[in-house]
């Protein structure tokens, strides 16, 4: 593994590929090829490759109505069948993982919850190592440029419209809030840290869990808190003052509590985040 610092954002979540083919047919992303992917594939698969401009890559796979043209009717990858796993594009091998840049320039390894094989559990070290190697292989010498562009240049960020805190403090506060063992605890910490009253949202979430979930309610409650903590680590809302971010996260918790299967709900929310829908929060219902 490289000397670059990587932080895992999704502790408690793992996946097992169920070969559903969703990642090969999803409309919302494309498979870009590293230079080495292109060298491997250009002879036998040139018909499936097209040029692209304005991205870190100059080549990508073509898509049709069913997504990747190399996806067989049995949801299998033609490249893997014909040439073996090592020939698959790096971006395909990386899924369902991806990465972001943290405020301090470290890399954040994230998992895409809309992979259909997502489940509770722990990723093996080998799985994590493989994902990081794929990220590094895919972007190679561009990784440093991505890091510099993605990190914060100021030392401080907003707590609210008037008060500033350091990025370290913000991270520490997020860790404290989302290590809550229950929704009541979360509510108490929201008030303590940010003077935010989320009592109404918490009561609403609990009512919904009571209504929708027959057993393991505490597990669901904890999973909702874990997922919100994951989003906080991913720092998707980090340009906002911390209080605004916390407010948005609890609204996402409200949305999540509407799904009987919380992991499936996380997948749907992740897809909305990918499409930018939840950044405006138009789709998040209030209690």
Piece in contact with ligand SF4 (CB under 6 A), picked from 21-29, 51-59, 182-190, 258-266: 21-29
Binding positions for ligand SF4, 37-66, rule CB under 6 A: 61
Q: In whole angstroms, how close is the CB of 91 to ligand SF4 at the nearest point?
A: 7
> Under the criterion CB under 6 A, does residue 194 sit at the interface with ligand SF4?
no
| Closest alpha carbon to 12 in 178, 140, 240, 133 | 178
Three-class DSSP category at 13: strand
> Which one-letter DSSP state was computed for residue 58?
S
CB 247 within 8 A of CB 159: no
CB 120 within 8 A of CB 230: no
Binding positions for ligand SF4, 68-97, rule CB under 6 A: 68, 70-71, 77, 79, 88-89, 92, 95-96
| Closest alpha carbon to 41 in 60, 21, 67 | 60
Which residues are CB-contacts of 83 (< 8 A; sequence separation ≥ 6)? 44
Binding residues with ligand SF4: total (CB under 6 A): 23
Q: Which is nearer to ligand SF4, 79 or 198 (CB)?
A: 79
Q: Which is nearer to ligand SF4, 23 or 143 (CB)?
A: 23
Q: In whole angstroms, how close is the CB of 227 to ligand SF4 at the nearest point?
A: 18
Q: Which is nearer to ligand SF4, 56 or 87 (CB)?
A: 87
Q: How far apart are CA 177 and CA 228, in angstroms?
A: 10
Two tokens, residue 184:
């009541």
In the chain, count of helices (H) and strands (E)? 13, 12
> Under the criterion CB under 6 A, does residue 13 sit at the interface with ligand SF4?
no
Q: Which is nearer to ligand SF4, 96 or 253 (CB)?
A: 96
> Under the criterion CB under 6 A, does residue 108 sit at the interface with ligand SF4?
no
Q: Which chain residues interact with ligand SF4 by CB under 6 A? A: 17-24, 31, 61, 68, 70-71, 77, 79, 88-89, 92, 95-96, 115-117
């Amino acid at each position: 593994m490289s000397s670059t610092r990587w932080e895992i954002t999704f502790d408690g979540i793992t996946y097992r590929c169920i070969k559903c083919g969703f990642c090969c047919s999803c409309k919302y992303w494309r498979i870009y090829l590293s230079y080495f992917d292109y060298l491997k594939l250009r002879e036998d698969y040139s018909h499936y490759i097209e040029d692209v401009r304005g991205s870190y890559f100059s080549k990508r796979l073509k898509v049709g109505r069913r997504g990747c043209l190399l996806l067989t009717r049995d949801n299998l990858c033609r490249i893997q069948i014909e040439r073996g796993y090592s020939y698959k594009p790096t971006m395909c091998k990386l899924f369902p993982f991806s990465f972001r840049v943290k405020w301090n320039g470290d890399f954040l390894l994230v998992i895409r919850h809309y992979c259909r094989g997502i489940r509770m559990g722990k990723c093996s070290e080998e799985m994590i190592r493989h994902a990081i190697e794929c990220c590094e292989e895919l972007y190679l010498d561009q990784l440093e440029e991505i890091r510099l562009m993605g990190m914060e240049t100021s030392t401080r960020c907003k707590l609210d419209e008037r008060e500033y805190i350091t990025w370290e403090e913000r991270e520490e506060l997020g860790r404290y809030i989302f290590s809550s063992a229950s929704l009541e605890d979360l509510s108490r910490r929201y008030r303590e840290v940010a003077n935010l009253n989320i009592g109404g949202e918490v009561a609403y979430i609990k009512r919904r869990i009571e209504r929708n979930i027959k057993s393991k309610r505490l597990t669901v409650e904890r999973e909702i808190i874990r997922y919100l903590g994951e989003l906080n680590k991913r720092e998707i809302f980090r340009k906002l003052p911390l209080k605004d971010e916390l407010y948005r996260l609890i609204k996402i918790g409200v949305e999540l509590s509407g799904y009987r299967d919380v992991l499936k709900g996380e997948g749907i929310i992740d897809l909305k985040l990918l499409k930018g829908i939840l950044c405006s929060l138009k789709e998040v219902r209030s209690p």
